[in-house]
Amino acid sequence: EDKVVQSPLSLVVHEGDTVTLNCSYEVTNFRSLLWYKQEKKAPTFLFMLTSSGIEKKSGRLSSILDKKELFSILNITATQTGDSAVYLCAVVTSGSARQLTFGSGTQLTVLP
Amino acid sequence: DGGITQSPKYLFRKEGQNVTLSCEQNLNHDAMYWYRQDPGQGLRLIYYSQIVNDFQKGDIAEGYSVSREKKESFPLTVTSAQKNPTAFYLCASSIGDQDTQYFGPGTRLTVL
């Protein structure tokens, strides 16, 4: 059975702090790993990672994948209150359909 | 504007009733998906469809049914056979052979 585990489950920081969110996985036929941000409603897409060691970056957010050790991290620097959300990691496996297996998410709270 | 719409936003149901959740997209995406999200848990796949008039069960299909008569629409019916239907339901779509899925705003179903 495919499994995706995120840690920590929740995190409280102050504005300006840097945070690292973790995602480890055990799946058959790995194809890609996706990060989403969910603020109450629809998850919004952040990054897709397919190759090891290549960092994806967007502003203060960055992510990297390690396919040998089967994990990914999402970094947020200089956090802001608007970064408060649940961050979801999902793994896509090869097959006839692009099915996603999600982790349970990390609840990030950024205090002013 | 292109996007995915879900209705209603909130839905209350009495035990024993079937209810249908709407999902429409104008992104011209081939594939559509239904997920269920419970508090503190990740998203779990209910059903997905890659083309019109075809759909497959996901991990937790029992007590649910779907149809895909049009490319733009993928309604989900929560039947009385679903033992614990109170949850947040998310619809997503993707271009057929690509991994990234885009989500609608969700429907929160409460059984009274």
Interface mutation target, options A100, A102, A107, chain B, most CBs of B under 10 Å: A100
Name which of B95, B98, B100 to mutate to probe chain A: the one with the most chain A Cβ atoms within 10 A of its Cβ.
B100
Under the phi-then-psi rule, with left for phi > 0, alpha for psi from -120 to 50, and beta for the rest, what region is B37? Answer: beta
The neighbour count for residue B3, using CB atoms within 10 Å, is: 14
Check if A3 contacts B (Cβ < 8 Å): no
pLDDT tens string B40-98: 888 999 999 999 999 999 999 999 999 999 999 999 999 988 889 999 999 999 997 78
Report CB contact under 8 Å: B45, A32. Answer: no
Question: Residue B37: is its pLDDT beyond 90?
Answer: yes
Model confidence at B1, pLDDT cuts 50, 70, 90, reads low
CB within 8 Å: A103 and B40: no
For A45, the closest of B50, B90, B100 (CB atoms) is B100
Which residues from B are below 8 Å from A when comparing CB atoms?
4, 31, 33, 40-45, 48, 50, 56, 58, 90, 94, 97-106
Q: Which of B101, B102, B108 to mutate to test the interface with A (most CBs of A within 10 A)?
A: B101
- Alpha-carbon distance of A50 to A34, in angstroms, equals 9
pLDDT in tens, A27-84: 988 999 999 999 988 899 999 999 888 889 999 999 999 989 999 999 999 999 999 9
Give A38's strand partners: A43, A86
CB contact at 8 A, A87 and A23: no
Peptide bond into B85 cis (omega under 30): no
